[in-house]
Chains A and B, each alone.
Chain A
Amino acid sequence: MKEPKVEVNDQVPVFKSWNSWYLLTILLLVIQVVLYFLITKFFE
């Protein structure tokens, strides 16, 4: 099947590209993991 060309005309909210949202998501995940590591160590 020939994959249809996807036209993504929607305006990206807040940022200029979707990559910024993706980077924010990864950054928040990393921050949370660090936070949970600190909590684990503090209460061990």
Chain B
Amino acid sequence: MSRIDWSVLFITIAAIVIYGIWKSRGQKNIQSFLLADQQLPWYSVCLSVMATQASAITFLSAPGQAFSDGMRFIQFYFGLPLAMIVLSITFIPIYHRLKVYTAYEFLEQRFDAKTRSLTAFLFLLQRGLSTGITIYAPSIVLSHILEIDIRYAIFMIGGLVILYTVYGGTKAVSYTQMFQMAIIFSGLLVAAAMVVALLPEKVSFINALKVSGKLERLNILDFKWDLNNKYNFWSGLIGGFFLQLSYFGTDQSQVGRYLTGSSVAQSRLGLIMNGLVKIPMQFFILMIGVLVFSFYQFHEAPIYFNKAQVKKVLESPEHAESFKEINTNYESVYQAKITATQELSAALEQNNQQVLDQKVSVVKAKEAELQTYRKQAIEIISKNDPLADKNDSNYVFLSFVTSFLPVGLVGLLIAIIFLASMGSTASGLNSLASTSVVDIYKRWLNKDGSEKHYLLISRLSTVLWGVLCIVVALNASKLGNLLEAVNILGSLFYGTILGIFLVAFYMKSISGNVVFIAAIITQAIIFHFYNIDVVSYLWLNVIGCLSVMLISAIIQLGWNNFAPEKK
């Protein structure tokens, strides 16, 4: 990166961090540290909710996801607006009314302490692992641009976010997320404009998209009912609805965001706005991935986007020669593919379907050949470094930005990725601290401490979780595309947690003991189903939720009928 890029990067990040810390000064209790004194307006709630969900993973891996698999991932979000409606009607009024710090406090009032603790534990496990992944994502960026080992990058990013969150708490997170989102949106608009501007002169924007369409990247909707297909309309609408309902309704990293709203109306409006804006925003981000794909139909793409790994293999005396040979073949076929793609683009202007189909099949044949060389290259990379990431989709957008964008813009886009990561990771750490302090420490270990004491414990807890998340990040390289990984992780736990909450709200006759047992049985079932790959992961949210409710009903019925009567 050039000096201008580094300057833009540091100034943007420093400004945001200093602003956040300045705005959050004078926090004296956990009401302030964890809930920002519940003073925030709806637009702050909305931006905070969006920024929490949109981490570096969104901006790094989503374009990569679209690049390799097309736009169909957008279907994943179709259930989200409906989930926002349900939350506005049910969860928000209840949380505000009960004046809870965490979502899990409510469960003790409804059931008992052990159910509260079980749910809190499931949340801590899931969120702890996910936050580790959100630290890993920007570390990829840092290691790529500095060409350093990713482990050093992980320590640097993790350390910075810990400092920021420990000092500022929820207020720092919420105030800075507003500006982060503004910068992020602007930067994305610029990135999209640049990708379009970099297309060859003879290729129009529409033709570039048509080429991508012919190569199955604009496969936005799929209405076929197939439980093993990861992304179709039904899994997104139904499975996605349950996942988003659980994520926004029961995950403290989001509940903590909208509980900062100054009233029920402000929290509701913040969530509804999130429901209105989220899908177009994700569509735009995925479209950038498709545009990058279009770009690479007319420019040569590297055989492997992870430059650090390529550099490692080229320095290896054992593997360098065979890798270079494969790369030479790859480059030669790529040039042929570019020629074929240009012919395809020209054929789109004519009205001859037969010619068009023939051109498409030539391009697809070249693409298949390229994939064969890529697989061979990945095998060599893997032999050279068994710990190497075999999936480079997380590096596609990053590689494009650092290779092709002009000076200044590179710095801005890298800053965006860091800011997104900081906002999301900070929310994650904040929620882990909240739940640890309120649902575990204060509930079980020290009920009568002073506000100053709990504030100290909250800060210490943030540090501890930060360290644990760094450990997770150090092991995250094997997870493939991070956007998928973090949602698979969520789907393993969200169904059960949502089920517990829905039983709490709507099945009044179920007791704490019953739901506790049902939750444990359900969690075991979900792990088993995931292990044997019964259905695609989004459906696990539905199965988990409905299983808790059904098993609770059955156990309670059995208990009512067969339990000995109390004398």
- Partner of B219 from the list A11, A18, A40, A42 (CB cut-off 8 Å) is A40
Interface residues on chain A, number (Cβ under 8 Å)? 27
Question: Residue B433 at the A interface, CB < 8 A?
Answer: no
State A6–B221 Cα separation when bound (angstroms): 40
State A18–B89 Cα separation when bound (angstroms): 9
Query: Does B265 lie within 8 Å of A10, measured CB to CB?
Result: yes
Q: Which residues of A contact B532 (CB under 8 A)?
A: none
Q: A4-B97, A10-B265, A25-B85 are in contact. Are A43 and B209 (CB under 8 A)?
A: yes
Of the listed stretches B11-19, B268-276, B522-530, chain A binds B268-276
Chain B residues 243 to 288 lying within 8 A of chain A, measured CB to CB, are: 263-266, 268-269, 272, 275-276, 279-280, 283
Question: Residue B410 at the A interface, CB < 8 A?
Answer: no
State A42–B264 Cα separation when bound (angstroms): 43
Question: Residue B302 at the A interface, CB < 8 A?
Answer: no
State A21–B97 Cα separation when bound (angstroms): 22
Query: Does A33 lie within 8 Å of B78, measured CB to CB?
Result: yes
Query: Does B213 lie within 8 Å of A1, measured CB to CB?
Result: no
Chain B residues 188 to 238 lying within 8 A of chain A, measured CB to CB, are: 209-210, 212-214, 218-221, 233
Query: Does B280 lie within 8 Å of A32, measured CB to CB?
Result: yes
State A8–B89 Cα separation when bound (angstroms): 11
Q: A1-B110, A39-B220 are in contact. Are A13 and B42 (CB under 8 A)?
A: yes
Q: Give chain B nearest CB distance to A28 CB in angstroms.
A: 6
Q: Which residues of A contact B212 (CB under 8 A)?
A: 43
Q: A6-B97, A22-B88, A40-B221 are in contact. Are A13 and B269 (CB under 8 A)?
A: yes
Question: Residue B563 at the A interface, CB < 8 A?
Answer: no
Chain A residue with Cβ nearest B85: A22
Question: Residue B109 at the A interface, CB < 8 A?
Answer: yes
Question: Residue B499 at the A interface, CB < 8 A?
Answer: no
State A21–B265 Cα separation when bound (angstroms): 12
Q: Which residues of B contact A42 (CB under 8 A)?
A: 213
Q: A6-B94, A13-B269 are in contact. Are A25 and B218 (CB under 8 A)?
A: no
- Partner of A36 from the list B82, B98, B220, B268 (CB cut-off 8 Å) is B220
- Report whether over half of chain A's contact residues are helix, strand or loop; otherwise say mixed: helix
Chain A residue with Cβ nearest B98: A4
Chain A residues 1 to 44 lying within 8 A of chain B, measured CB to CB, are: 1, 3-4, 6-8, 10-13, 18, 21-22, 24-26, 28-29, 32-33, 36-37, 39-40, 42-44
Q: Which residues of B contact A33 (CB under 8 A)?
A: 78, 221, 233
Question: Residue B93 at the A interface, CB < 8 A?
Answer: yes
State A26–B210 Cα separation when bound (angstroms): 30
State A24–B84 Cα separation when bound (angstroms): 12
Chain B residues 93 to 134 lying within 8 A of chain A, measured CB to CB, are: 93-94, 97-98, 109-110
Q: A22-B88, A36-B221, A43-B212 are in contact. Are A10 and B82 (CB under 8 A)?
A: no
Query: Does B272 lie within 8 Å of A25, measured CB to CB?
Result: yes
Q: Which residues of A contact B265 (CB under 8 A)?
A: 8, 10-13
Q: Which residues of A contact B263 (CB under 8 A)?
A: 10
Chain A residue with Cβ nearest B262: A10
Query: Does B88 lie within 8 Å of A18, measured CB to CB?
Result: yes
Query: Does A10 lie within 8 Å of B264, measured CB to CB?
Result: yes
Please encode chain B, from 346 to 361, with 1 for each CB lying within 8 Å of some chain A CB and 0 for all others.
0000000000000000
State A10–B74 Cα separation when bound (angstroms): 34
Chain A residue with Cβ nearest B263: A10
Query: Does A6 lie within 8 Å of B93, measured CB to CB?
Result: yes
Q: Which residues of B contact A18 (CB under 8 A)?
A: 88-89, 268
Chain A residue with Cβ nearest B277: A28
Chain B residues 28 to 85 lying within 8 A of chain A, measured CB to CB, are: 42, 74, 78, 81-82, 84-85
State A41–B385 Cα separation when bound (angstroms): 43
State A20–B31 Cα separation when bound (angstroms): 33
Q: Which residues of A contact B233 (CB under 8 A)?
A: 33
Query: Does A43 lie within 8 Å of B210, measured CB to CB?
Result: yes
State A11–B42 Cα separation when bound (angstroms): 13
Chain A residue with Cβ nearest B212: A43
- Partner of B81 from the list A6, A11, A29, A44 (CB cut-off 8 Å) is A29
Q: Give chain A nearest CB distance to B513 CB in angstroms.
A: 15
Most buried by B among A6, A12, A43: A43
Query: Does B220 lie within 8 Å of A25, measured CB to CB?
Result: no
Query: Does A29 lie within 8 Å of B279, measured CB to CB?
Result: yes
Query: Does B110 lie within 8 Å of A26, measured CB to CB?
Result: no
20 contacts between A and B (CB under 8 A): A4-B97, A6-B93, A6-B94, A6-B264, A11-B265, A13-B269, A22-B88, A22-B272, A25-B272, A28-B81, A29-B81, A29-B82, A32-B283, A33-B233, A36-B221, A37-B220, A40-B221, A42-B213, A43-B213, A43-B214
Q: A3-B94, A13-B265, A43-B212 are in contact. List 20 more A-B contacts (CB 8 A).
A: A4-B94, A8-B93, A10-B263, A13-B42, A18-B89, A18-B268, A21-B88, A21-B272, A22-B89, A24-B276, A25-B84, A29-B82, A32-B283, A33-B78, A36-B74, A36-B220, A43-B209, A43-B214, A44-B213, A44-B218
6 nearest A-B pairs in the assembled complex, by CB-CB distance: A43-B213, A10-B265, A6-B93, A43-B218, A36-B220, A40-B220
